[in-house]
Amino acid sequence: MKAKLLLLVLAVLLVAGLAGGATMALFTDTETNTGNTFAAGTIELQAGNPHVMSVSVSNMAPGDVTPYYKWVLRNTGTLPGRLSVTFSSITNNENGIVEPETAAEANSIIGFPQGELGQYLTTGIHPDAISETVRPYVTFITRNDEQGWYIADVSKEVDTRGTFGWGPSGWSVPSRLRGQWQAGPPHPWGIPGLNGWGGRTFGTEGFLPGDVLQPGQEVAFFFRAALAQNVRRWDGTGWREVDDNIIQSDSAHMDLTFRLESLPPQ
């Protein structure tokens, strides 16, 4: 019997804010992210009834971390299903080039002629940078320092300032985390930043046993993005400083596709 497949597509738009002079190490625009749109809602997983949601983040400057975007997923069917999320390929857009960005793009190590925001975005901070007040509640399940990611469990509803993940529907932050803190790969043939997540599929990282969502059960999915305080680029031999103005006005777009797939017969 063919497995039933539910597709849920979420559109996420990440936009870099405008900055000032090209000689500054940081963006000169000091506006905060208070104007960002926060998306939250309950998604009922029903075959043939897809939902499309859009999220926009504007005025991102180096050092910014978005709030968590949260979606509650509920299995309204009568059968259990295996839950996963897939990140689409990231589309980067210039949205016009301002003068400071033109000067920054003259640097030969940039390497991307179109919008660059996606290669500098990550989904979290370095695990050693987690607050001392939060650290006692964090248990690392897997940590890969070479590739710059980790999976961790959080026993209390506290914000680690990083990652996407899964958690109880009543929580405001995830309790099972997958964090990426490195915006560049350790090898020159890798794809840096959030761009490297394009086409990748993740389960619930063990939050749901076997990634199975039971009938009537609900779970929350969380996502956030971060922009390093000091924008750098890996050129295959080492980290290179990059003029932060390189991402002025740029945007990055992606879709999140949730799948609830019926289980094979026992």
* Per-residue pLDDT in tens (0 to 9) along the chain, 266 residues: 444 444 444 455 555 444 433 332 322 222 223 333 434 444 566 433 445 555 566 567 788 888 888 888 888 888 888 898 888 877 777 654 544 445 555 555 555 444 567 777 776 778 888 999 999 999 999 998 877 789 999 999 999 887 789 999 999 999 999 987 765 655 554 566 777 778 889 999 999 999 999 989 999 999 888 877 777 766 667 777 777 666 777 777 778 888 888 787 76
How far is residue 199's CA from residue 69's CA, in Å, rounded to a whole number?
20
Q: How much is the pLDDT for 18?
A: 40
Q: How much is the pLDDT for 206?
A: 94
How far is residue 121's CA from residue 228's CA, in Å, rounded to a whole number?
7
Residue by residue, what is the 3-state secondary structure of the chain? CCCCEEEEEEEEEEEECCCCCCCCCCCCCCCCCCCCCCCEEEEEECCCCCCEEEEEEEEECCCCECCCEEEEEEECCCCCEEEEEEECCCEEECCCCCHHHHHHHCCCCCCCCCCCHHHHEECCCCHHHCCCCCHHHEEEEEEECCCCEEEEEECCCCCCCCCEEEECCCCCCCCEEEEECCCCCCCCCCCCHHHHHCCCEECCCCCCHHHEECCCCEEEEEECCEECCCCEEECCCCEEECCHHHHCCCEEEEEEEEEEEECCCC
The total number of structural domains in the chain stands at 1
Residue 11, domain extent: 5-262
What would the two tokens of residue 68 be? 């968590």
Q: How much is the pLDDT for 25?
A: 30
Q: How much is the pLDDT for 49?
A: 47
Residue 97: Cβ-neighbour burial (10 angstroms; 0-12, 13-18, 19+): middle
Positive/negative CA dihedral, 64, 240, 25, 254: negative
Q: How much is the pLDDT for 78?
A: 81
- What single letter denotes the amino acid at residue 212? V
Q: How much is the pLDDT for 249?
A: 72
